[in-house]
């Protein structure tokens, strides 16, 4: 069995100051995919991560203190691919691929559109480009696990107030339609595959005690190609783990 965790840490140095590494040391997951690291390798206590038994790989944004992803794994990958080859996304540090035998993990941090129309348009372009890129990647690597912060709540089950948020970035009709197409294009939502009707969230605003009242959104996903769906043992949200405004998304898969 392989245990895989995806976690938007909203600043890796901040999460480490809240004992992230102690938690990782206790849990000893096989693969840990971090998003929104907001750090470069020289800013990260790499020796402490290595002391936990992890190899580590990073894709940082050009802009300091922004975006970025990192993948920690117990087993050395056969290859590591940084970025997607599209400059406007790669300069923001949004993709990291690790290959293990005939399967791959793609660690992704999708853009947010909450800061205005320009970034919302950038996000929609990203979704179209991402779909095309993955379609091509699947020809080369047909067994994919694509995890990360997608910044979209797919259905009304995935958000605490669907009516109040119907015009909010992250729950817009066109974003939700993209998710529906995505999960109809050869990918399975690991959590929904195992728990079709369970309400769990992965992100809560820091405002108004949202987390304590469980007024959240499910915007962090683990998508697997359909040929891996029957290998998923379970998938859940580790909602009691608090190093960030997100929680880790956990999956166990027999691969």
Q: How many residues does the chain have?
A: 255
Catalytic status, residue 161: no
Quick one: CA dihedral 16, 211, 145, 177, positive or negative? Answer: negative
Say which of 30, 149, 189, 220 is annotated catalytic.
149
Q: 216: domain CATH number?
A: 3.60.10.10
Dump pLDDT digits (tens) for 192-236. Answer: 999 999 999 999 999 989 999 999 999 999 999 999 999 999 999
For 157-198, write each residue's pLDDT tens digit: 999 999 999 999 999 999 999 999 999 999 999 999 999 999
Work out how many domains the chain is built from and give that number. 1
Res 74: pLDDT: 98
Would you state the pLDDT for residue 208? 86
With bands split at pLDDT 50, 70 and 90, how would you rate the model's confidence at 21? very high
Does residue 39 surpass a pLDDT of 90? yes
Average pLDDT over the chain reads: 97
Distance between CA atoms of 115 and 218, rounded to whole angstroms? 19
Residue 131 has pLDDT above 90, yes or no: yes
Query: How is residue 3 written in tokens?
Result: 């245990």
Per the structure, the complete domain to which residue 38 belongs is given by 2-253
Task: Measure the CA–CA gap between 170 and 152, rounded to whole angstroms.
Answer: 4
CA separation for the pair 255, 245 (Å, rounded): 30
pLDDT at residue 34 greater than cutoff 90: yes
Return the H-helix or E-strand segment holding 194.
Answer: helix 190-194
């Amino acid at each position: 069995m392989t245990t895989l965790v995806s976690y938007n840490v909203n600043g890796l140095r901040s999460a480490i100051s809240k004992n992230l590494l102690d938690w990782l040391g206790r849990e000893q997951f096989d693969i840990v995919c971090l998003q929104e690291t907001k750090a470069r390798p020289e800013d990260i206590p790499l020796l402490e991560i290595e002391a936990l038994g992890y190899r580590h790989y990073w894709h940082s944004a050009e802009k300091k203190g922004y975006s970025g992803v990192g993948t920690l794994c117990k087993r050395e990958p056969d290859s590591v691919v940084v970025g997607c080859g599209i400059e406007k996304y790669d300069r923001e540090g949004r993709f990291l691929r690790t290959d293990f035998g005939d399967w791959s993990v793609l660690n992704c941090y999708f853009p947010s559109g909450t800061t205005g129309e320009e970034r919302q348009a950038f996000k929609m372009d990203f979704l179209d480009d991402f779909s095309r890129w993955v379609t091509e990647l699947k020809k080369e690597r047909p067994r994919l696990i694509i995890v990360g912060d997608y910044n979209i709540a797919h259905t009304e089950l995935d958000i605490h107030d669907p009516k109040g948020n119907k015009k909010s970035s992250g729950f817009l009709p066109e974003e939700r339609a993209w998710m529906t197409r995505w999960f109809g294009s050869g990918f399975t939502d690991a959590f929904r595959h195992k728990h079709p009707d369970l309400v769990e969230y992965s992100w809560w605003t820091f405002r108004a005690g949202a987390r304590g009242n469980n007024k959240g959104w499910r915007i962090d996903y683990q998508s697997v190609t359909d040929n891996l769906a029957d290998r998923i043992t379970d998938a859940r949200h580790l909602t009691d783990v608090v190093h960030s405004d997100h929680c880790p998304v956990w999956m166990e898969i027999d691969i």
